[in-house]
Structure 1
Amino acid sequence: MQNFKSPIEAFLYWESHEPNQVFLHQPISGKIITHTYAEAGQEARKLASALKSLGLNSGDHVALLSKNCSQWIIADLAIMMAGCVSIPIYPTLNANSIEQILVHSESKAVIIGKLDDFESQKNGIPNIPKISIGLYGGKEGQLWEDLQNTHQPLQDIPLPNSDDLHTIIYTSGTTGDPKGVMHTVNNFTVSGKALVNLIKMPPKSRQFSYLPLAHVAERAICNNGYVLGSTIYFSDSMATFAKDLEHCQPHFFFAVPRIWAKFKEKILTSIPQKKLNTLLMIPIVNSMVKNKLKQKLGLKSAIFIVSAAAPIADSLVEWFKKLDIIILQGYGMTEDCCVSHFNLPNDNKIGTVGKTLSEAQAKLSPEGEICVKNKCLMKGYYKNPELTASMFDEEGYLKTGDIGEFDHDGFLTITGRVKDQFKTDKGKYISPSLIELSISKNSDIEQICVVGTGIPQPIALVTLSESGKSKSKESLSKSLFQTVSNVNPNLAKHEKIEKIVVMKEEWTVANGLTTPSLKLKRNAIEKIHQPYYESWFNLKENVIFE
């Protein structure tokens, strides 16, 4: 592996050494648009010239508002080539949140790409230069395509210093307002090397990019692609997601737990569990079924399959393991640039997030909080030195806000969030995370939030999966009550779940109850529902439909 000192240096290497290799693979409306390394480089160089023509100077901030697509990557490269700092914005944010980030980050320009509903978002963009991509219906400001025709490619690309600011990533924020995490060029260089060492993907591998590139994990994975000279595939839409993933057959695949649950649901729709069990017991048929399912899921070539960002039920991991799909749990956060803990194919313990990576150090505080140190910790929160200082202990370890425990083999289990703990009116603290994980094994449940402030015992608020929605209230109540009856004997007296409340609506990014990376916004859920806890608790039913 080449010893690159920055993401842009890695790209420039492949641009000159493998100019004709396909770098970006973008399906759109039934067609495929590809960019070789040379073509992507030319387009990025012209866009970099355009950015400079706007009067932008080295170190200025340029925002990027788009779903994952080839132009996202090209825009990111152009921002680097122009010596600017990228401000990626989640494509699902509303106008108020977009405005908040653009103003706080002092962005001098914004590139507007592939979006589902820009009309509802455009009022959030202040009076700064805008570049829109006509391919995706963009009309604001200057057109990307016009700039490609009117600007010469930037020839001399100055390589950045390792301590230059590379990007400000605004956390998706499960609590409070988003915070701008500052990462240097060196941070992404160190993170990229760590991920290459961890995943051991072959050079010129295939990657499938669909989780938001505004999130540090997806950004780091694509950065990994720059280092390896990979081909990065994208999806056209949710409707074509399965077909696009199957076509790509990536060597590395990363999904959050809700996606693994959806995959399982999809499989069981075509092959009911009883029939699947029978097929898996027949020796030759067994292999054929597994191979066919892996092919259809797009995982036939995957050598490293990951679940992260939120806890995943052990039962779900075990279910996929029976199909020879080994899901490895990992752990990292925006502030540590994903270099923290991981399970490995030959060193994997289900239920944990793995051992501390060799590039990191970890310890538990006296209160059990996980603290991490590595060579790619954030520079700090943009324009918030007080909050930055509060995130580090006296030895320079990052305080993650997660509570955990190490076993005797060094595997880390996350047992909750410091801020998620709550007290019932009995005055005893409850950490909801592991309780939620136990109850979520019920496949009728899509999302779960265990709460209990101000009532004697905790209750579980749930949304339903497709299988849950298809059941009668009577059948569903029986299923949910049975799950609670199975879980409660393993809980302390003050932790036992008293009721399950089935929500009328799902918790989504659109209604502000999940982050763009699909984590629950517990504070927002509680704010809406806490006034009803006492009345729900006092109802005689064990399962309540909102």
Structure 2
Amino acid sequence: MAIDPKKQTSLHCLYYWAEQTPDNVYLTQPFPDGHVEDITWREAAGQVSRMAAHLNSLGLPDRSSIGILGKNSAHWILADLAIWAAGHVSVPLYPTLNGESAAYILEHSETRLLFLGKLDGTADGWDDIKGHLPDDLPLVSLPLSPRDDVPTWETIIEAMSPAQPKLPDPDDLATIVYTSGSTGRPKGVMHSFRTMISVADGLQQLFPVSSSERMLSYLPLAHVAERAAVETQSLYYGFHLYFANSLDTFQEDLQRARPTLFFSVPRLWMKFYLGVNAKLPPRKQKILFNIPVLNSLVKKKVLKQLGLDHCRAALTGAAPLSSEIIGWYRSLGLELLEVYGMSENFGYSHANRPGQAKVGTVGMANPGVEHRIGDGGEVQVKSPGQMLGYYRNEEKTKEDLTEDGFLKTGDMGEIDADGCLRITGRVKDLFKTSKGKYVVPVPIENRFNHPKAEVVCVAGANQPQPCLMVLLSEEARDDLERGGDRIALEQELAGELDAVNAGCESHEKVAFVVIVREPWTMENGMLTPTMKIKRNVIEDFYNRKMDEWFSQKRKIIWEF
């Protein structure tokens, strides 16, 4: 691994690009009123240095924890950098947290000050969180913050002279990332500047990245996936970073950015796919995609409408994506590459290589990464991005690391003859039927690929057989509300169920499909911030209905 000595940490990178390309735009931020702000590298470095001067003036102890709460924005990243420039440690908080969880993280991390960013109380947890903020916790409002009665970023920047930044040692603690907490209390994962920058250094050995790239930041920056793939990469390589304004303007924001690199999660790749199908039904696609000359024009038009016609590397991670969906994107000319990582190794673990992708696997170990299969089929990884440990939880740190320094991932997997890793499920996701047989839900979920099923969950602990719950896509739900054909949809889902069961062992065969009424969202706690299902929450929510469902002895059950 060969880190550029001028770019040893993300903060070094900021000042490097401010010197090398001061007038190039680094950050582009859209606002609700329609205007868009561009911030150059020189302006970014200047604002960071001025905010660092303010933080220095507060007399906080060295290496204090400073929180950032808000949706992605240009100033979220500038606040992160300012915290480091003042010699402190950043603690990101998910904007979708409930108040109790936010209070726990602020207390556990010993946060001394909180940057309050883009929040509006509609698609985030602000309405609950605001009542749980300690009265004596100093706040600084970033642009788009819901509070205007506290010091704001703009007024502070205007008043302060820039401070000489405290460039950190690569092995200093940089950030404490609290896991999304799919079970139990969130754990504070400690990362140094060196573990964070390892992802940028490693990926440059997999495919060329340059300062001419463009990316759109929209997945939560509080999660390591966005922090590694977007924030760290943009700082290391010096490329242009765009932000999304809202879900309603996402397509417009994507069209503005025209990203050359794009990272997303399966739920959103599926939504894009379903959105295209709603406008251009699969049967029509099949005809058009098989007409010479016309097929390439149609495929280019689909990618252009998605805003991905300039994209040369598209990554998917955080959860499995079916081979059929990956194949569909590839048929359009977009090589979708599955990658794999965890909060505990800053997302730096495995990736499929361009031109060498093996669908159904998360690829080979990244440069500098070692992997193996441990007891019970658990994947174990040793990575340059490996955490320093869990904050104030030495016992859990020892529990999750082997004696020779490998991280116990909690994922089950297989390594094939080519060194590619296939994730087969989560160790804790296994459940027993009433017949005493174990069921691994993830492979079954991956095989259920009806175009109107947005996300699925296999459950059925202590029942005779597993069952499968389906959340229909928004388009499908709207169609049904307008009087769409329920019987035809039932028949299609029953056919998909038969196809899935044909590949299952007898104890794995799914008894029935339930079409659920309640959407699964981050706000109601059924999805993590990276849109993975919170299996335990979903199971708890539906467990009381299981006996009734099984008693109906029907193949398709509607909740509405």
Q: Of the candidates 478, 486, 491, which is equivalent to residue 478 of structure 1?
A: 491
Instruction: Report the residue type matching 1:170 in the other structure.
Output: Y
2:450 and 2:132 map into 1 onto residues whose CA distance is 40
Change (3 A) 1:274 1:528: closer
Q: Percent identity at matched positions?
A: 40
Change (3 A) 1:464 1:135: closer
Q: Of the candidates 244, 247, 253, which is equivalent to residue 238 of structure 1?
A: 247
Matches within 5 A, 1:330-349: 330-349=339-358
1:140 and 1:516 map into 2 onto residues whose CA distance is 29
Offset of residue 544 of structure 1: 1.3
Q: Which residue of 1 aligns with 2:441?
A: 432
Contact 2:52 2:165 in 1 (8 A): no
Q: Which residue of 2 aligns with 1:442?
A: 450
1:254 aligns with 2:263: yes
2:73 and 2:82 map into 1 onto residues whose CA distance is 15
Q: Which shifted more, 192-201 or 70-79?
A: 192-201
Q: Which residue of 1 aligns with 2:15?
A: 12
Q: Of the candidates 26, 39, 43, which is equivalent to residue 39 of structure 1?
A: 43
User: Could you give the per-residue CA deviations for residues 228-281 of structure 1, whole angstroms, max 9, x where no partner exists?
Assistant: 111110111111111111121112101111111111122222222222222222
Change (3 A) 1:376 1:161: same
1:19 and 1:112 map into 2 onto residues whose CA distance is 28
1:110 aligns with 2:119: no
Matches within 5 A, 1:69-468: 69-117=73-121, 118-126=126-134, 127-154=136-163, 156-221=164-229, 222-439=231-448, 441-468=449-476
Across the two proteins, how many residue pairs are aligned to each other?
544
Q: Which shifted more, 128-137 or 141-150?
A: 128-137
Offset of residue 531 of structure 1: 2.2
Offset of residue 303 of structure 1: 1.7
Offset of residue 136 of structure 1: 4.3
Contact 1:201 1:303 in 2 (8 A): no
Instruction: Report the residue type matching 2:406 in the other structure.
Output: Y
Offset of residue 87 of structure 1: 0.3
1:388 and 1:134 map into 2 onto residues whose CA distance is 37
Q: Which shifted more, 230-239 or 290-299?
A: 290-299
Counterpart of 1:142 in 2: which secondary structure?
coil
1:496 aligns with 2:509: yes
Contact 1:174 1:519 in 2 (8 A): no
2:535 and 2:430 map into 1 onto residues whose CA distance is 11
Contact 1:130 1:142 in 2 (8 A): yes
Contact 1:196 1:224 in 2 (8 A): no
Counterpart of 1:283 in 2: which secondary structure?
coil
Contact 2:71 2:95 in 1 (8 A): yes
Counterpart of 2:271 in 1: which secondary structure?
helix
Q: What residue ranges of structure 2 are gaps of 5+ in the alignment?
A: none
1:23 aligns with 2:26: yes
Instruction: Report the residue type matching 2:17 in the other structure.
Output: W
Contact 1:175 1:522 in 2 (8 A): no
Counterpart of 1:477 in 2: which secondary structure?
helix
Instruction: Report the residue type matching 2:360 in the other structure.
Output: G
Q: What residue ranges of structure 1 are gaps of 5+ in the alignment?
A: none
Offset of residue 227 of structure 1: 0.9
1:194 and 1:85 map into 2 onto residues whose CA distance is 24
User: Could you give the per-residue CA deviations for residues 23-71 of structure 1, whole angstroms, max 9, x where no partner exists?
Assistant: 1011112111010011111111111111122222320000000111111
Question: What TM-score comes out, normalization by structure 2 length?
Answer: 0.94
1:140 and 1:177 map into 2 onto residues whose CA distance is 32
Contact 1:133 1:139 in 2 (8 A): no
Question: What TM-score comes out, normalization by structure 1 length?
Answer: 0.97
Offset of residue 137 of structure 1: 4.5
Q: Which residue of 1 aligns with 2:531?
A: 518
Offset of residue 135 of structure 1: 4.3
Change (3 A) 1:475 1:140: farther
Contact 2:210 2:238 in 1 (8 A): no
Contact 2:75 2:143 in 1 (8 A): no
2:351 and 2:538 map into 1 onto residues whose CA distance is 30
Q: Of the candidates 54, 60, 81, which is equivalent to residue 56 of structure 1?
A: 60
User: Could you give the per-residue CA deviations for residues 83-109 of structure 1, whole angstroms, max 9, x where no partner exists?
Assistant: 110001111112122111111111000
Change (3 A) 1:389 1:234: same
Counterpart of 2:137 in 1: which secondary structure?
coil
Offset of residue 134 of structure 1: 4.6
Contact 1:23 1:229 in 2 (8 A): yes
Change (3 A) 1:298 1:197: farther
Instruction: Report the residue type matching 2:516 in the other structure.
Output: M
Q: Which shifted more, 463-472 or 418-427?
A: 463-472
Counterpart of 1:349 in 2: which secondary structure?
coil
2:165 and 2:474 map into 1 onto residues whose CA distance is 51
2:435 and 2:127 map into 1 onto residues whose CA distance is 49
Instruction: Report the residue type matching 2:12 in the other structure.
Output: E
Instruction: Report the residue type matching 2:270 in the other structure.
Output: A
Contact 1:353 1:414 in 2 (8 A): yes
Change (3 A) 1:199 1:506: farther
Counterpart of 1:254 in 2: which secondary structure?
strand
1:477 and 1:266 map into 2 onto residues whose CA distance is 21
1:134 and 1:365 map into 2 onto residues whose CA distance is 48
1:437 and 1:354 map into 2 onto residues whose CA distance is 17
Counterpart of 1:211 in 2: which secondary structure?
coil
Instruction: Report the residue type matching 2:65 in the other structure.
Output: H
Q: Which shifted more, 271-280 or 168-177?
A: 271-280
Contact 1:85 1:167 in 2 (8 A): yes
Contact 2:348 2:383 in 1 (8 A): yes
Contact 1:313 1:437 in 2 (8 A): yes
Change (3 A) 1:13 1:402: same
